[in-house]
Amino acid sequence: MGMLLLWGFAAQAQDPVQWAEAMRAFAAEDATSAPPTNAIVFTGSSSIVFWKTLHEDMAPLTVINRGFGGSTMREALYWLDKVALQYRPRAVVLYEGDNDIGYYGLKAEKVVEDFKLLAARLHTELPATRLYFLAIKPSILRWKSWPEMRRANELIRAICERDPRLQFIDVASPMLNEAGQPRNELFEADDLHLNAKGYALWASLVRPVLLEEEGDHQAQVISPARRVPVAWLNAIRSRYT
């Protein structure tokens, strides 16, 4: 399914409709196995799509992966109903901006503008839902775009600091070595996408934040699956404090 979600990546201009097939694939998956409500939705571009160990990495938290590779912040906004709102999540974890700047050449201000629109749309529909933004990552392939990506990160971090429903998770800084360059060992051969070591690093940064902020709400997930005891969550969380 990963390649299906990447089919529109080479489009020369942002066209949200290019992801209609990906949305149909999500709908078909939902028809086969209905996702729970009040879970945590991960959405965004290929760094989310290819996070194959996401469910294990975030356990015991209940997560739904609705990444559609090659997407942008504006496209995430366009498809927010399909990738997030319909699941009534208690939290959304978002990774966008990489393609906006590194592929389409957009400025940081445009990414920030679209982020603000997305957050506003989310909170109009679900006022209490928390939104976590994963920092745009530095990569070897798109290193020339890093100054603009870093500027977008700084602007979005400032926005998050002003709203308790928003949180910036810095997955970018630990991806740089002592010389301030991307760490080669974290990337696939294409020098853009994360390998297993890269995802292990992201998991070590994202999971403790979500356990701390969302762990107490896990028992509220509405699903046929057995609910996770809060005591188990507290024991796991204690390992990261």
- C-beta of residue 74 within 8 angstroms of C-beta of residue 114: yes
Q: Which residues contact 45 (CB under 8 A, 6 or more apart)?
A: 67, 68, 69, 70, 71, 72, 95, 96, 98, 99
pLDDT at res. 4: 39
* Residue 229 backbone zone (phi > 0: left; psi -120 to 50: alpha; other: beta): beta
**Can you tell me which residue has the tokens 């006022």?**
127
pLDDT at res. 10: 37
The CATH T-level fold of domain 31-240 is Rossmann fold (3.40.50)
- Is the pLDDT at 234 greater than 80? The verdict is no
Q: 155-178 pLDDT, tens per residue?
A: 999 999 999 999 999 999 999 999
Averaged pLDDT score across all residues of the chain: 89
> What is each CA distance from 58 to 16, 22, 63, 209, in whole angstroms?
29, 24, 7, 10
Share of the chain above pLDDT 90, in %: 79
pLDDT at res. 95: 98
> What is each CA distance from 226 to 142, 200, 215, 229, 237, in whole angstroms?
43, 27, 16, 9, 20
Query: Whole-angstrom Cα distance, residue 38 to residue 89?
Result: 4
Residue 208 φ then ψ, to 5°: -60, -35
User: Residue 190: how many CB atoms within 10 A of its CB?
Assistant: 10
Q: 45-98 pLDDT, tens per residue?
A: 999 999 999 999 999 999 999 999 899 999 999 999 999 999 999 999 999 999
Q: 21-43 pLDDT, tens per residue?
A: 999 999 999 999 899 999 999 99
User: Residue 164: how many CB atoms within 10 A of its CB?
Assistant: 8
pLDDT at res. 170: 98
Give the alpha-carbon dihedral of 131, 150, 140, 132, to 10 degrees. Answer: -10
Closest CA to 39 of 86, 81, 88, 80: 88
